[in-house]
Structure 1
Amino acid sequence: MTAPRLSALVVARNEQERLPECLASLAFADEVVVVLDRSTDASAEIAHAAGARVIEGAWELEGERRNTGIAACTGDWILEVDADERVDAALAEAIRETIATSRFAWHQVPVDNYVGGRLIRHGWAGSFGTTSVPRLFRRGAKRWRAQRVHPGLDWTGEEGPRITRGALIHLVDRDISDMLRRLDKYSSAKAADLIASGDIGSLAANLRRFFSRGFKSYVSRKGYKEGGWGVLLALCTGAFPLLSYLKAKLEPEKHGGGR
């Protein structure tokens, strides 16, 4: 029996610094597809040199550009990886073993999140981070919805067991300032999504979400084990929906369109 082919998909914008290590970690895949959204740096040259198939264009919505990449993949299975992520050797081996025997449509992949050089295992929650992502799937099983930030997913088929060996190494933030810049960027994109939907919600509802999400991050997801980093994660996790709402409510002219 012929072994299933694996496509690795990377969607990026101006990631020339982090793209080389990301692509090097995907050498175990049969095909690498890189989608570059409005990139103006050397990302295209780096991807071509690594043997990847490159698709360049401009997409307003994250879901649209990710779906473009999925459609371009030719493998039986697809693994989605961001430029700030690397697949470690143990996870690469586990992925190969999984697709060789799985009867399911998709699988969750474990994530190790780093801020600078520090591994932070606890406190990731909501839309600000996670320790498991549905990135390994059969071609045709996954479709992203048309949204700017953290778009929803539509699945065809049954979810299989979570992969437990190895990890997707996520270099999520360089430092605290980088984390706060990410919160600002994500909340601006979410504000645009809220305005486009015609329902931005209410202040009361988002205040409740601030406290419930912060509690989930710090207590339920055990962020307290990370000391001050857990407090910071809880604040960012709770602030994301509230800040998104406030931007949509108070500054709609700044967030009514664009990325």
Structure 2
Amino acid sequence: MNAASELPEALQSVQFCEDILIVDSGSTDDTPTVARQHGARVLHKDWLGFGPQKRWAVEQARHDWVLCLDADERVSPDLEQSIRQAFQAQCIALENDPLLAGFEFPRSNFFLGKYLRHGEGYPDYSRRLFHRMRAQWSLDEVHEKVEARLPEAGFQRINGDLLHHSAESLQTYLNKQNRYTSIQARHLVERRQIPGWGKVVLSPLTRFIKFYLIRRGFLDGLPGLVHIAIGCFNSFVKYAKAIEISKSEQADKATTPRGGDLS
């Protein structure tokens, strides 16, 4: 929604595809017009949530093999070449092997003026190219992912980066993370996965050690440090919000009169 400024680069990067489809959920800018100018079909669908929306979009595709991108993502030239080579070399297997669900490749985030190549943001293997009869988007409202329909099916890795080039400001990024942690906290409560103090304290710490030290996030300089620090804080906030929601619901139950009580 409202991606007119980002779409041209994204659409230009997928011109090698036979069919380009944009699903719009109610943009108020020139998104549909820009999409059509770049040869894309445009369909409207009221917002269902990230996972359900993408699953609906895949169902509208004209071919079984689909490549899914967000408006702020671009297929790098190296990734395009790898995709072309994979289809040229494995055309028979692609159509006849039910255990080949699709392909996954690295995703590189552009953050504070730099593509992150280490730490939490990389390689961040993403399953975006898949056969829709063998794989599908999960129904998660946030942090949706592509899952194989058969437990034994798999995804083959190919080279080349999917470039995530968000134009949002740091403030916008933080606001989005705040929304995401609220959704995640609510899901934890619904699943009765209420964290203890150990989870609240240790999760951010272990996350920092894993991504900044072991995964060498420090090699990305200050942008890498900021990105990982925000991720650690998100982990802390997610669990803190879950505790708050749980305690609030418990308090509401305690103060709500039981039905049928006699005075």
The two structures have a TM-score, normalised by structure 2, of 0.79
Q: Which residue of 1 aligns with 2:110?
A: 114
Q: Which residue of 1 aligns with 2:258?
A: none
Aligned to 1:131, which of 120, 124, 137? 124
1:87-133 alpha-carbon deviations (Å, 9 max, x no partner): 122211211221233332211122232124322211125xxx75321
The structural deviation recorded for 1:226 is 2.0
The structural deviation recorded for 1:200 is 4.1
- Cα separation, 2, equivalents of 1:224 and 1:118: 13
- Cα separation, 2, equivalents of 1:226 and 1:59: 35
Q: Which residue of 2 aligns with 1:3?
A: none
Q: Which runs of 5+ in 1 are unaligned?
A: 1-12, 254-259
- Cα separation, 2, equivalents of 1:173 and 1:220: 29
The structural deviation recorded for 1:193 is 3.0
Aligned to 1:169, which of 148, 156, 163? 163
- Cα separation, 2, equivalents of 1:220 and 1:27: 38
> Quick check: 1:155 aligned with 2:118?
no
The structural deviation recorded for 1:16 is 1.3
Q: Highest Rg: 1 or 2?
A: 2
Aligned to 1:29, which of 14, 17, 22? 17
The number of residue pairs the alignment matches comes to 237
The structural deviation recorded for 1:224 is 1.4
The structural deviation recorded for 1:52 is 1.5
More helix by share: 2
SS of the counterpart of 1:31? coil
CA spacing shift, 1:62–1:28, aligned 2, 3 Å? same
More strand by share: 1
Contact 2:72 2:167 in 1 (8 A): no
1:130-168 alpha-carbon deviations (Å, 9 max, x no partner): 53211111122222222221024431353243111x321
- Cα separation, 2, equivalents of 1:227 and 1:167: 20
- Cα separation, 1, equivalents of 2:25 and 2:238: 24
CA spacing shift, 1:203–1:173, aligned 2, 3 Å? farther
Structure 1 residue identity aligned to 2:157: R
The structural deviation recorded for 1:31 is 0.5
- Cα separation, 2, equivalents of 1:163 and 1:152: 18
Contact 1:115 1:174 in 2 (8 A): no
CA spacing shift, 1:192–1:41, aligned 2, 3 Å? farther
Q: Which residue of 1 aligns with 2:71?
A: 83
- Cα separation, 2, equivalents of 1:186 and 1:173: 18
Contact 1:195 1:248 in 2 (8 A): yes
> Quick check: 1:221 aligned with 2:215?
yes
- Cα separation, 1, equivalents of 2:167 and 2:234: 16
Q: Which residue of 2 aligns with 1:245?
A: 239
Contact 2:142 2:180 in 1 (8 A): yes
1:24-46 alpha-carbon deviations (Å, 9 max, x no partner): 11111001111122322221222
- Cα separation, 1, equivalents of 2:144 and 2:168: 24
CA spacing shift, 1:101–1:200, aligned 2, 3 Å? farther
The structural deviation recorded for 1:174 is 4.5
Contact 1:115 1:175 in 2 (8 A): no
SS of the counterpart of 1:82? coil
Contact 1:148 1:190 in 2 (8 A): no
Structure 1 residue identity aligned to 2:239: Y
The structural deviation recorded for 1:205 is 1.6
Q: Which runs of 5+ in 2 are unaligned?
A: 94-99, 249-263
CA spacing shift, 1:182–1:123, aligned 2, 3 Å? farther
